[in-house]
Amino acid sequence: MSTVKLSVDPLKCQGHGRCYEAFPEIFEPDEQGFAQVKIDICEEGTSPAADFRAAAAGCPERAISEEVRCD
Amino acid sequence: VRTGQRQLQRSPEDWADFDYDFKSSKIVNSPHDVWRRLQDEMPVIYSRAHDGYWFACRYSEVIEILTDWQTFSSAQGVVSLRGGTLLIPQEMDPPDHRKYRSVLNVPLSPKQMPAHEGWIRAEARKQLATVVRSERFELLSAFAVPFPKIVALRLMGFPEQDLAELDGWVTNSIMERGSEAATLAGAALYGYLTTMLQERAEHLPKDDLISVVQNGQVDGAPIPVEDQISMLMLLLFGGLHTTTSALAGAIVWLADHPEDRARLKAQPGLMTTAVDEFVRFTSPADTLSRVVTTDTELAGCPIKKGDRVMFGLGAANRDPREFDHPESVDLARYPNRHLGFGSGPHRCVGAHLAKLQLRVGLEEFLSAFPNFEVEDHSALRWEGGEPRGLINVPIRVTER
Q: Distance (Å) from the C-alpha of residue B320 to the closest C-alpha of chain A?
A: 16
d(CA A57, CA B297): 27
- Which chain A residue's Cα is nearest to B109? A33
Give the whole-angstrom CA distance, residue A28 versus residue A46.
20
Q: Which of A12, A32, A36 has the highest number of chain B CBs within 10 A, making it the mutation to test binding with B?
A: A32
CA distance B160 to chain A (A): 28
A1 shares contact with chain B (CB less than 8 Å): no
- Residue pair B21/B50 in contact by the 8 Å Cβ criterion: yes
Instruction: Return the pLDDT at B180.
Output: 86
Residues of chain B with pLDDT under 70: 1-11, 80-84, 175-178
Using the beta-carbon criterion (under 8 Å), do A31 and B111 form an inter-chain contact? yes
**What is the layout of strands, in order, in the sheet containing B394-399?**
B136-138, B394-399, B371-374
Distance CA B291, CA B69 (A): 10
pLDDT of residue A42: 92
Nearest CB among B67, B110, B336 relative to A33 is that of B110
Q: Tell me what ipTM this predicted complex has.
A: 0.94
Tell me whether B299 touches chain A (CB under 8 Å). no
Q: At B396, which helix (H) or strand (E)?
A: strand B394-399
CB-based contact, A15 to chain B, within 8 Å: yes
Contact A14 B344 (CB under 8 A): yes
CA separation (Å) from B137 to B134, B212, B301, B362, B375?
Answer: 7, 38, 49, 16, 9
CB B303 within 8 A of CB B43: no
- The pLDDT, as a whole number, for residue B100 is 96
b/e code B355-372 from CB counts within 10 Å (16+ = b): bbbbbbbbebbbebbeeb
Please give the pLDDT value at position B164.
87
Distance from CA of B348 to the nearest CA of A (A): 9
Q: Is A11's Cβ below 8 Å from some Cβ in B?
A: no
Tell how far CA B25 is from the center of its chain: 19
What pLDDT is recorded for position B221? 97
User: So what's the pLDDT on residue B86?
Assistant: 85
Quote the pLDDT of residue A70. Answer: 75
pLDDT at A1 over 80: no
- The terminus-to-terminus CA distance of chain A in angstroms comes to 6
> Using the beta-carbon criterion (under 8 Å), do B102 and A32 form an inter-chain contact?
yes
User: pLDDT, tens digit, for every residue of B28-68?
Assistant: 999 999 999 999 999 999 999 988 999 999 999 999 999 99
A71 — contact with chain B (CB < 8 Å)? no
Using a CB-CB cut-off of 8 Å, the residues of chain B touching A59 are 335, 337
Residue B1 confidence (pLDDT):
45
Summary count for chain B: helices (H), strands (E):
16, 14
Q: Name the minimum distance, in Å, from the CA of A71 to any CA of chain B.
A: 31
Q: Are strands B301-303 and B296-298 parallel, antiparallel or unpaired?
A: antiparallel
Q: Which residue from B102, B110, B338 is facing A29, i.e. has the nearest CB?
A: B110
CA distances (Å), origin B220, targets A43, B71, B168: 44, 29, 36
B106 contacts in chain A (CB < 8 Å) = 31-32
pTM of the model: 0.95
Given A22, A32, A54, which is nearest B109 (Cβ)? A32
